[in-house]
Amino acid sequence: MAPALAPLHVLVKFTDDQGVTHNLEATSGAGRARDQHYRDLLPITDQALANGLYLAPLDAEQSVAVIAAVVLDGLMARGDYREAMAVADVLLAHNPQFAYALVKKGTAAYRILEAEFYARYPEVEDVPQDRRAELMRLQQVNRGAFEWAEAMGWVSPTR
């Protein structure tokens, strides 16, 4: 048995004695579900499958990173966005295909941009010179995180 990811969801992959792999859906009494079931309900692209983003069994290191995402969620909920970005980096070091952590990192960067730059300075020219490098770095983190996730096949579940 091994956990596997779907967009905003974790399921269990179970391989029986005959070598057949089944998905066990823990949210509905551990009933079986085919990969197509998740594809029908959730935004899972062919590219995401090919890149191991979704429906691939996770190894132990990747699994721990997924479990540790609760720390990331807590930091985001408290508005500790710089710490959330740092935790996302640790999770991604252990599970580079963890789109959830990547998107949270990009979102955290945007929240900092929003609070420290966009709400204070209507124009880029208004940003003090000594803060412009930070502005540009955070913009790159925000753009880069979403571009990387999208390049791997991630799409927003809200689209």
pLDDT digits (tens, 9 = 90+) for 40-78: 989 999 999 999 999 999 999 999 999 999 999 999 999
pLDDT of 159 over the 70 cut: no
Among 24-28, 70-74, 77-81, the range scoring the smallest mean pLDDT is 24-28
Residue 12 is inside which H or E element, if any? strand 9-15
Selected from 1.10.10, 1.10.150, 1.10.3470, 1.25.40, the CATH number assigned to the domain covering 59-159 reads 1.25.40
Angle of the 69-78 helix axis to the 60-67 helix axis, nearest 10? 20
Residue 110 is inside which H or E element, if any? helix 99-113
pTM of the model: 0.92
Encoded amino acid at 84, one letter? A
Q: Which sequence spans correspond to the domains of the chain? A: 1-57, 59-159
